Amino acid sequence: MDIIKHIAVLAVATIGLSACAQKEPRVETANHLSGRICLGWFDLAGAPTNVNFQYPPQSEATPCTQKKTMVMPALFVKTYDQKDHQTLGEVLIPDNGGMISIWRGPLRSSWLSAINSIQLVRAENGSNVLDISIYYTSLPAKGDKPFRPGPPIERRYTYRDGAYVSSK
């Protein structure tokens, strides 16, 4: 059972998430998405760091204020997709006076959970833009016997042509 769930997690992380990067702004009024929660501004060309999505900052004034010293500023947010019953993470960057989504992916669903934080790590391809790395684990479905999941599965996204795409 553990192997089947981990294969399912890997399949969704590979197929579903690689198609999530968007270059066009999406409609903010989609009624199946609840309000966005600000996780903070991060410099995608800065030092490696972690974006904690489990316990977002309590004060929106500080983390949601962009610092002027950022080379490649990006706003990390999370939202809840009521249609698919999952928590999503999203990366938005300033674009012509608005914001454009360059990555979106699941953080938690009924059978999948990202572990604690989104990691911004040095790019494997030598780029100055940080990669996004997320570790996932599977969750038992209702009625399943409790089980110990196998090792976490890493999904890594690399910045190419204006959006993040799956690199692993």
DSSP string covering 5-20: HHHHHHHIIIIIHHT-
pTM above 0.85, yes or no: no
Give residue 65's pLDDT.
76
Question: Domain containing 56: what range?
Answer: 2-166
pLDDT of residue 49: 94
* Residue 132, pLDDT score: 95
CB of 46 closer than 8 Å to CB of 67: no
108: alpha, beta or left? (left if phi > 0; alpha if psi -120 to 50): beta
- pLDDT tens digit at each of 168 positions of the chain: 333 333 233 333 333 333 333 333 333 334 455 678 888 899 999 999 999 887 766 654 455 778 788 999 999 998 888 888 889 999 999 888 888 899 998 898 877 788 888 999 999 888 999 999 999 887 666 777 776 667 788 899 999 999 999 986
pLDDT given for residue 109 in this prediction: 84
Q: How far apart are CA 23 and CA 88, in angstroms?
A: 17
